[in-house]
A and B are shown apart, each in its own frame.
Chain A
């Protein structure tokens, strides 16, 4: 498994994951720089992503929607805030309507992705920060359904802990 470290910061509502990939930094960068590759990895298999606009430059936007099993669509956007190709980029990740107008009622997370050469491959660190527990809740409720069953699994966790 490429994930080598996971940090949960409960106070700052930050998730940080480190992964080691068996490919050079430029190759990992390409996954994000190429909309056709990005849409292969962004949405879960049940909710494949379609990338519409793709401008990975400071101030640029990446827009996408994910399509659910019932044809339901969930749109989102990245506002790219910093780019240091191929080493890192930062973006605000938010929700939008299907015309890609940002929905100001829904939360925005701040993300920094960093890629460094490591042991002949790439060490990637992904850091995302949420403004509040409510924001995190909303993000999980909105279309990112990969962990949809976990709310139910947590009942068992609660009992076991």
Chain B
């Protein structure tokens, strides 16, 4: 891996090494959340949650935008996905199709075995 890749991996692992940050990332991957709505989910200060959001943002896993007085955070699915994981995701789709063919032929009424 290149040095740049290593640095990026360091930032990713650092960002994901914390349970609260993984939880925040799960939420923002599912949809946009305001930082104050996120802060309400955790038993910690707004500033502490904001700090976690900033670490995820620095690692490129999350992006923020302003709407009025709110900060809205959303997860960057692309940053989480690598080519390897994308092929694995596609593999699951194909495995589903294959399993359905298997079921379909097994349900043939005239099947002998």
Chain B positions 69-113 with a Cβ under 8 Å from a chain A Cβ: 77-78, 80-81, 83-102, 104-106, 108, 111, 113
Tell me if A37 and B104 are in contact (CB < 8 A).
yes
Determine whether the beta carbon of B101 is less than 8 Å from that of A44: no
The answer to whether B55 has its CB under 8 Å from any CB of chain A is no
Instruction: Tell me the residues in window 1-27 of chain A with beta carbons closer than 8 Å to chain B beta carbons.
Output: 1-3, 6, 8, 10, 13, 15, 17, 19, 21-23, 27
Q: How far is the CA of A37 from the CA of B111 in the complex (A)?
A: 16
Partner of B93, one of A13, A31, A147: A147
Contacting pair A3 B95 (CB below 8 A):
yes
Select B100's contact among A15, A41, A137, A159, beta carbons within 8 Å.
Answer: A41
Decide if B85 touches A154 in the complex (CB within 8 Å).
Answer: yes
- Measured in the bound complex, the distance between the Cα atoms of B87 and A40 in whole Å is 23
Question: How many residues of chain A get a CB closer than 8 Å to chain B's CBs?
Answer: 42
B residues whose Cβ falls under 8 Å from a Cβ of A? 12-13, 16-17, 22, 25-26, 29-30, 77-78, 80-81, 83-102, 104-106, 108, 111, 113
| 16 further contact pairs, Cβ within 8 A, besides A41-B101, A150-B89 | A2-B99, A2-B102, A13-B87, A15-B90, A31-B105, A37-B104, A44-B96, A137-B78, A139-B90, A140-B86, A146-B96, A147-B93, A150-B92, A151-B29, A155-B22, A155-B25
